[in-house]
Structure 1
C-alpha cells in the first residue's frame, strides 16, 4: 500500500539521518513498520516533496516495486530521493534488504535522479540502531521521535500521529454497521426529505444549509453522532452542488480552528453515512486533510470516497492529485470561498462560549 504526503505545513530541513528517520511518524501520520519510505527532495535545496510508503516486497518483486515507485519522482520539481527501509535485522555484512536498496539506486539513476541517502532501521523507536547502505561508518541510534523538531511543529499544528497505519485506517470504519444498514434502507425507500410540495430549489438549499449548520452545532455541543433522521437529511444535503462547493471552501485557509472542526465533522459523517452518500463526506475529509498536510488521512479518505461512489469525478480527481504528490497550494481553486460566504455555512460560536477548536486537537472523534 502506498501513502503519499505532500507537506502542508512549514517543516524543518532534515539533513541529519537519525532525525530524519525519527521524524517519519510525523511526516506520514503513523509509525511505519516493515516499510519502504521514499522522500522526494524538491528543487532547489532539500525541501521534502512527494513522500511514498509501501510494504516491503518479497525479493522476487523488489525490482518491480522500484520500477513502480521511482518514476513518480521523475518531474521538474524533484532532483533526488532519500530512501528509508524499516524492518529486518542487520548481520555481519550490514543492514538487511541490500538488494532492494540496490534496485532503488539503479532505477533512480535511469531516471537521472540522485539517491541522497539510503537508510535502514529495524523500527522507529528511541534507541533503535540505524545505518546507511553506502557508508558503514554512517550509523548510530535513533533519538526519541517525540523530541524531534518536526514532532513539535506537527503537534503544534494539531496533527495526530497513530501507532500504525491500521490504527489510522480504523478511524474511518463505521461506528455502527447496524445504523449504516438502517440508513441505507431509508435512503433507498424514502423520498428526499428536503424536498416537498411547493418547495423551490432555493428552499431546498436553505434546508440543506440548516441541516449542515445543525450538524456543526451538535458537534460543538458534544451531542454525539446524528440519529437516523438527521443522517438521512444530511446525506441528501451533502449531494447538492452548492453545498459541496461551500464544504470544500471550509478547508481554506488550512490550520484554523474552523478547518479542524470541519475535519472532525466530516470524519463523523464518513462513519455515519452509507454509500454512495458517504462519498461526499469522505471527499470533504480528504480535501481538508490534504490542505492541512495530513497526507495519510487524506489518501485513505479519498480512497474511501471512490470506493463508496466509483463514478465520483471530483473524488477521482483529488485521488489522482494525491497519488502524484501535487502541492496542495495548486488545489485551492476547488474551494469556492464566495459560495461558503453567501450561504453563511460557518455557524457562529454559541453566546458566552469560547470559539470551539481554538485549542490543540487531541485526536479524531471515535464515537
Structure 2
C-alpha cells in the first residue's frame, strides 16, 4: 500500500480536480488500484480539506479500508473511494467494489460516502460513480452533477504537480518505477565491495568510540561530512536530471559521508545541513543509498526523505522511507519519519529534524 500525507497549501475546486491531483500526490500513475481519500474539516475555517490518501492493489482493498479507519484523525469526517482499472468487469474489480461498499466505521455506518471508477487517471478520462448519493440527494446537498459522472481535467494543471514540475520531473508510470529510483545502480553510483563496506562501518564505530576521548577530532570528521553535503554538485531531486553519470562529490568524500551515516550519533548531526542545502545534500545521499547496504543505505534514504519534504515532494519522501524499511525492517528513524508524514506533520518533521540536529551539534561539540 502507498500512503500520502495531506496536500499542503493547494486548492482543488471540483471533484475532477481531486482525481487529477492524485498522480502528483502519489508521485506516480496508479493502475489496477483502490484509492481512499480522507476528507477533513478545518476547525478554524470550516473548509473541507483533502487529508491523507491511501492506495492499494485491488486484492488489498479490504485491508486498505481497515487501515484507513484505524488511522483516521479527529478531523476526518468521511472518505471517498476510487477504483482504477482498465478492466471494469473483472472479478477483482467486483470484489473491490463489494469490499468498499461493505466497509463500516466504528458506528456501523458506511465508511465511504461515495465511490467512482476510472480506467486510468489521465487528462480527459471519464469517471462514473459506482455508489453514493442519488442525484436528488446531490441536488439537495448543493453538489454539482459532475459528482455522478464527468471528465478528469488537466493533470498537469493541478497544484500537486507544482513541486514535481519545479524539478523538471513528471509522475512515474508506476509505484515500482518510483521505488526503482533508489535501486543500486553502478551507472550513477560506485559499486562498493564487501571489504570496503566492512571498513566503512568499522571507521564509524571507531569515531563513536572516541566521542568522549577525542571530541575535537570527531567534530572535524562530522564537519567534513556536513561540508560535503553543502558543497556537492546540486541536481534535481527527482526526474531524469537527478541521475547523472558524474558523481556529485569526490568518491573519498562520499565514502566519508557514508562513515558518518553508519552510526546514529554522527548521522543526526547532518539533518540541519540537509534542510539548509536540500539539493546538493540529496544528490550525495541518493548516490550513497544506491552504493551501500544496511544501516548506511537506510540512513541515507531517511535523510534524503527529509530533503524531499523540504522541497514539497512528500510522496517521494514516503517512497524513500519505504525503501529504508525494506532495507532494515526495524529501522527506527525511517519508521518515525514515516509516521509523521502519514499524520500530515510536515512542519513538525522539519522542525524536529532541525532542532535535534542543531542541539546535538551544539551540545555534543560545543559548536
Instruction: Tell me if both proteins adopt one fold, taking TM over 0.5 as the criterion.
Output: yes
Q: Does 1:107 align with 2:103?
A: yes
CA shift in 2, pair 1:47/1:260, >3 Å: farther
Which residue matches 2:287? 268
Change (3 A) 1:161 1:75: same
Aligned-pair CA distance for 1:19: 1.9
| Cα shift at 1:104 | 1.8
1:171 to 166, 178, 181: 181
TM-score of the two chains, using structure 1 as the length reference = 0.75
1:239-280 Cα offsets, whole Å, 9 max, x none, are: 35454333323465xxx8x33443333222211223232121
1:301 to 304, 320, 324: 320
Tell me how far apart the structure 1 counterparts of residues 104 and 168 of structure 2 sit (CA, whole Å): 35
The alpha carbon displacement at 1:116 in A equals 3.8
Q: Could you state the TM-score of these two structures normalised by the residue count of structure 2?
A: 0.75
Distance 1:263 1:41, change over 3 A: farther
TM-superposed CA distance for 1:342, in Å, is: 9.0
CA 1:113–1:175: 2 relative to 1, 3 Å: same
Q: Are positions 1:117 and 2:119 aligned together?
A: no
In the alignment, which residue of structure 2 is the partner of 1:354? none
Q: Which runs of 5+ in 1 are unaligned?
A: 345-367
In 2, are the aligned partners of 1:37 and 1:51 still within 8 Å (CA)? yes
Q: Give the conservation status (yes or no) of the 8 Å contact 2:182–2:289.
A: yes
Residue 303 of structure 2 is matched in structure 1 by: 284
> Could you tell me how far 1:310 is from its partner in structure 2?
3.8
Gaps spanning 5+ residues in structure 2: where? 136-144, 236-243, 363-367
Structure showing greater relative contact order (alpha-carbon pairs closer than 8 Å, 6 or more residues apart): 1
Distance in 2, matches of 1:80 and 1:260, equals 37
How much does 1:180 deviate? Answer: 3.6
Q: Does 1:4 align with 2:3?
A: yes
In the alignment, the residues of structure 1 paired with residue 103 and residue 118 of structure 2 have an alpha-carbon distance, to the nearest angstrom, of 22
The yes-or-no answer on 1:203 pairing with 2:217 is yes
Q: Structure 1 residues 65, 171: closer, same or farther in 2, change over 3 A?
A: same
Q: Greater shift after overlay, 76-85 or 264-273?
A: 264-273
Query: 1:153-168 to 2 correspondence within 5 Å?
Result: 155-156=165-166, 160-168=170-178
Q: 2:258 aligns with which of 211, 214, 235?
A: 235
RMSD: 3.7
SS at match of 2:220: helix
Counterpart of 1:312 in structure 2 is 331
Cα distance change on mapping 1:56 and 1:114 into 2, 3 Å: closer
> Residue in 2 aligned with 1:359?
none
Would the aligned equivalents of 2:37 and 2:81 in 1 still touch at CA under 8 Å?
yes
